[in-house]
Amino acid sequence: MELNRRTVIAGAAAAGIAATTLGGTAHATGGGKPVKTLFGRLADGTKVHLWSLENGGTRLKVLSYGGIVQSLEIPDRRGRYANVSAGFDNLEDYVAQSPYFGALIGRYGNRIGQGRFTLDGKSHQLSVNDGEQSLHGGAQGFDKRVWDVEPFVKGSDVGLHLSYTSVDGEMGYPGTLKTKVTYTLTRHGDWRIDYEATTDKATVVNLTSHVYWNLAGEGSGTIEDHELRIAASRYTPTDAGLIPTGELAEVAGTPFDFRKAKPIGRDIRVSHPQLVTAKGFDHNWVLDKGITARPEHVATLRDPSSGRTLRIATNEPGLQFYSGNFLDGTLTGPTGRTYRQGDALCLETQHFPDSPNKPRFPSTVLRPGQVYRTTTVHTFGR
């Protein structure tokens, strides 16, 4: 039976005792102030810091470079902790070869076809960094910027405010975009991300987080035995460049049907044209709930071996599920193990890829006077 850590902590608190787990402490109240240490320096001498937070039994480490989640530790059903996020133990690898491990993504998460879009009659050419496409904001997206970080303790929550200003024309995007992203660890151990942005010119925005999950533990091998459920009856098929065709296709009767939880590996090698093109799952699911005022539960990931679970809630209309298809054994994680195809997966809450060129898709346009706001909550259980 799945046991949510929130229930354990609440029960312990009601009994008047500390909520503890083997291998670590799951605090029923607020954690301490985030701790800052030097992680490394960029080639120009800029310092990159590592921020360490703990609350509610969740341990989180974040870099000022790219807002990267360098480590996220949670306990299994026996209380044993493991880092469930793929990454590196040094700055040099993040700079030179990271496939967006743990990073904040912007200005535009996912792909824009040909790196071009037209807004208010004006054409914009973006940085192209994925064949003919612009991916995750271009060659120097938000994942490669040093963010200003301000720690906070608010009641029983602890967290970080990350801020970055993207100037007009950066990577080809119009408008100066002021971005603030807040990482919060709640007293229950939930990891909440609140995104906020404003602009001085009409532009497009689609922010997301690119954590690579393996609930059995970083470097432990395949995620194909993980069970996944996505509350989506449709998805967006792609062309050879992984750009959506514009169709909102039904998942029924296809390998893309995750409306009921199933092992990821069950259908990943089915001879379906979309799986062949992407070398696995690398698609946007059209969430049944659509855009909502508050975050709603849209996906559950479970590792049967450890019992760890991840529940994702968001107010976004889409979820990109990427099954780690392009991990090829050339990258080595903190435990000294290499990452091979399918050794980690991403669940990126978002608006749809290439929305600026697809009128049927929900708009990603942000105008002066408007505030871009979106929230995603990760709840861990065992």
The set of catalytic residues is: 210, 348
Peptide bond into 266 cis (omega under 30): no
Q: Please give the single-letter amino acid code of residue 92.
A: E
Q: Say whether 143 sits in a helix, a strand or coil.
A: helix
Residue 120 sits at φ, ψ, to 5 deg, of 55, 40
How many Cα atoms are found within 13 Å in the side-chain-facing hemisphere of 186? 13
Q: Please give the single-letter amino acid code of residue 161.
A: H
Smallest Cα–Cα separation from 173: which of 132, 209, 205? Answer: 205
Query: What sign has the CA pseudo-torsion 204, 207, 212, 215?
Result: negative
User: Exposed, middle or buried: residue 294 (CB in 10 Å: 0-12, 13-18, 19+)?
Assistant: exposed
Smallest Cα–Cα separation from 372: which of 164, 135, 199? Answer: 199
207 CB neighbour count, 10 Å cutoff:
27
Residue 113 sits at φ, ψ, to 5 deg, of -60, 130
